Amino acid sequence: MKNIETLFTKLPQKYKAGAVKAAKTFYFSLDEEKWTVTLDPAMCRVEPGKTVEKADVVLKTSADLFLKMWNGEYTPGMGDFLAGRIKSNDPQALKTFIAAFE
C-alpha cells in the first residue's frame, strides 16, 4: 500500500473474522491522518478521525513509517519507542492488529 486512506478503507474486506476474541478499539494518529478501527470477533469497522473518547490501543507515528511497517519493510524495535518515533500505550496489541489482516 502506498496510501494511508486506501489502506484503511480496505481493512474491512481484509479482516479475518475471529482474529480477536473480544472487541478492541484502535486509534491511529499518522501525521495528518487520523483513523479509528474497531475489531470484534465478527467484523472490522473503520472510521476516519477520532470517533471514540478513549481507544483501547493508541498508535502515533509518521504515515511513512506506518506504511513501511504495514508493508513488512520495517520492523520496529524498542529504540523506536524510546526515541519517540513510535508512541503506543500497548505495543503488543499492535501485533494482534496486524495479524488480524495477514
Print the SS3 string covering 7-26.
HHHHHHHHCCCCCCCCCEEE
Indicate which CATH number applies to the domain containing 60: 3.30.1050.10
Expressed as residue numbers, the domain containing 14 is 4-99
pTM score, whole prediction: 0.92
Alpha carbon 51 to chain centroid, angstroms:
14
| Identity at 88, one-letter amino acid code | S
**Whose CA is closest to 91, among 59, 56, 55, 53?**
59
pLDDT of res. 1 = 54
Write out the chain's pLDDT in tens, 102 residues: 569 999 999 999 999 999 999 999 999 999 999 999 999 999 999 999 999 999 999 999 999 999 999 999 999 889 999 999 999 999 888 888 989 997
What's the number of domains the chain is made of? 1
pLDDT of res. 92 = 86
Instruction: Compute the distance between CA of residue 14 and CA of residue 6 in angstroms, rounded to an integer.
Output: 12
